[in-house]
Structure formats: structure tokens, C-alpha cells
């Protein structure tokens, strides 16, 4: 999110990308583990950089030619550094004699699809206040940032929602994996035991729920009310709009610098229409563990 609002907002970076490169955004936590052609191609590139597969994260910005030859790498943000890397890479000799790249069979563990016959619901998270004033540019970006994710709903749960019932599995998945503060990085998900209170009701398309989440240490939690509307037509869900709002406290390993004490957090849910490429991205909480996420 920092890179989107800083490096990749720079007009020169955007111009260079459009005119000289094919931009690709991936979740390297998948590709560095995949046992398929796509994974092998990425791993070949990453292993030419200071980052090596099998030695932790391979996060960074890579430039490679179509043969998989690494032309540039950086894991530092800042438009000037990235522009210099891009211009240097453009001068590097490129391999022109290489075999055809075939997709082959995908590793199913890291290429999950939404539940057949189910729903994809877009999730957007925002801290509504509580941050102290800062002159640090990157902190300012974090303070204004939005968290994004997708919430998967199974076909069985969809059927129950259409029939005016609120499935426990639906509500628990929403709470555990989507009532999180992911506005500053990858959040720590809630465990089943962290759900202290969860009560919901669905009547005449009106959704309401109360959720209290708190870890065993008590240093991270969320007390929220959920209100929403579910629209149905001809046996299909045509609209899903809901908002969870309440007081959050604490931070995760990768979401440091949260506001001190309790602070207001809102999480919005909206039915995806499939027109945004991001609608196809698996939920953060399902990473390498789809069965655990769904169940």
C-alpha cells in the first residue's frame, strides 16, 4: 500500500511501466512455494537476486526478460531508486533465444478458486481516527490507507441467505478472517477462541450482528456492530451491502504503529460483480489453507 501511494503514483514510473514493461503483481508467498511451471519461472528469477527461495520472503521489485534472466532488483521504495533501476535494466542485454513458456498444470494448493455456486464479497477496511499527527510521509500514507480483501461465501451459505437464514459458518468466517485491521500490512487473523461474542440476525433482508473479538493476552481486540442489507431476486442474491463499525485495539506482527489505545475501525462489505481483476484474488486468510478458511 505504501508503494501504491508513493512509488507507483509517480508519473515517470507510470510512464516507464506503460511504455517499456509488462507489469505483473503477484503474491510471492504463493509463487515461491508453487510446484508448477509458473512457480519454477518465478523461483528462477528470484534465485538470481539477493533473495533466495527457501530462505524466507522473496518480497521485492524484480525486472526480468522473457527467458527469466534477472535484469534488476530492489526492495527499497522511493520513485528515484525505482526509476534508476528501471533505466539501468533497459540498457541490459536481453536473451532472445529461449524456449516457449508453457503454463502446464497449476499447483492446486496455490491456485484456489472461489466456491462453486457461491459468492465473492469485496471487503474494505479503514481506521476512522486515533492517529497522532506526523510529518513522516510514509506514516501519513499509512494513516489514510485502506485495507482490501475478498470474502468467500459457499453455495450452501448463499442458499440459506436467500431463504432468510444466517449461517453460523458465514458469520464466524466473516468475523475471524475479515474483522481485522489490515490497513498497515498483513494482519494477524483471529482464532476460533478469540471470538468472545457473536450474535446475528437476518430478517426481511436486514442483517444485524454483534461481535466481540479478543485474544488471550487481551492486547488486541474488536467490539463491533454489523448492519447490512441483502437483496434477492428470482432466487439469486443481487446485492450485499454491510458495514461493521466499532472500537479496535492492538496491532499484529506486520501491522505495527496502530493508534494508541482504542480506535474506531470500519469494515465495509459489498457484493463483487467480477469486473475488477482484484475480485479473483483469494482471501488473505485462505493463503495455503483454503479448507481451514472455508470450514
Residue pair 226/241 in contact by the 8 Å Cβ criterion: no
Q: Kindly state the average pLDDT of the residues 141-148.
A: 94
Phi, psi torsion values for 170, nearest 5 degrees: -60, -50
Best CA proximity match to 182, nearest among 213, 149, 147: 147
Name the helix (H) or strand (E) containing 171.
helix 168-178
Q: How far apart are CA 218 and CA 198, in angstroms?
A: 17
| Residue 96: pLDDT band with limits 50, 70, 90 | confident
Q: How far apart are CA 122 and CA 119, in angstroms?
A: 10
196 pLDDT exceeds 90?
A: yes
pLDDT at 20: 96
- Name the 3-class secondary structure at 195: strand
- Ordered strands of the 206-214 beta sheet: 147-153, 119-127, 262-271, 236-249, 221-233, 206-214, 195-203
Rg (CA), the chain: 21
Task: Quick: pLDDT tens for 199-255.
Answer: 999 999 999 999 999 999 999 999 999 999 999 999 999 999 999 999 999 999 999
Task: Quick: pLDDT tens for 55-84.
Answer: 999 999 999 999 999 999 999 888 999 999
Amino acid at each position: 500500500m505504501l508503494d501504491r501511494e508513493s512509488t507507483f503514483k509517480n508519473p515517470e514510473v507510470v510512464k516507464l511501466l506503460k511504455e517499456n514493461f509488462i507489469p505483473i503483481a503477484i503474491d510471492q508467498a504463493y509463487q515461491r512455494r508453487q510446484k508448477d511451471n509458473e512457480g519454477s519461472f518465478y523461483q528462477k528469477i528470484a534465485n538470481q537476486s539477493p533473495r533466495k527461495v527457501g530462505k524466507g520472503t522473496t518480497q521485492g521489485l524484480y525486472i526480468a526478460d522473457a527467458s527469466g534472466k534477472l535484469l534488476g532488483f530492489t526492495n527499497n521504495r522511493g520513485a528515484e531508486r525505482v526509476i534508476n533501476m528501471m533505466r539501468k535494466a533497459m540498457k541490459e542485454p536481453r536473451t532472445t533465444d529461449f524456449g516457449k513458456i508453457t503454463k502446464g498444470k497449476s499447483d492446486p494448493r496455490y491456485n484456489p478458486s472461489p466456491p462453486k455456486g457461491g459468492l465473492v464479497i469485496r471487503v474494505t477496511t479503514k481506521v476512522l481516527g486515533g492517529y497522532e499527527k506526523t510529518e513522516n510521509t510514509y506514516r501519513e500514507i499509512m494513516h489514510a490507507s485502506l485495507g482490501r480483501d475478498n470474502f468467500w461465501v459457499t453455495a450452501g451459505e448463499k442458499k440459506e441467505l436467500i431463504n432468510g437464514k444466517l449461517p453460523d459458518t458465514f458469520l464466524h468466517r466473516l468475523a475471524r478472517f475479515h474483522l481485522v485491521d489490515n490497513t498497515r500490512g498483513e494482519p494477524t487473523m483471529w482464532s476460533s477462541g478469540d471470538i468472545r461474542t457473536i450474535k446475528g440476525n437476518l430478517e426481511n433482508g436486514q442483517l444485524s450482528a454483534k461481535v466481540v473479538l479478543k485474544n488471550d493476552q487481551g492486547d488486541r481486540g474488536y467490539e463491533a456492530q454489523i448492519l447490512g442489507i441483502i437483496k434477492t431476486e428470482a432466487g439469486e442474491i443481487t446485492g450485499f451491502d454491510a458495514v461493521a463499525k466499532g472500537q479496535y485495539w492492538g496491532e499484529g506482527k506486520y501491522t505495527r504503529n496502530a493508534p494508541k489505545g482504542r480506535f474506531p475501525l470500519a469494515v465495509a462489505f459489498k457484493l463483487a460483480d467480477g469486473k475488477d481483476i482484484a475480485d479473483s484474488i483469494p482471501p488473505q486468510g485462505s493463503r495455503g489453507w483454503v479448507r481451514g478458511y472455508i470450514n
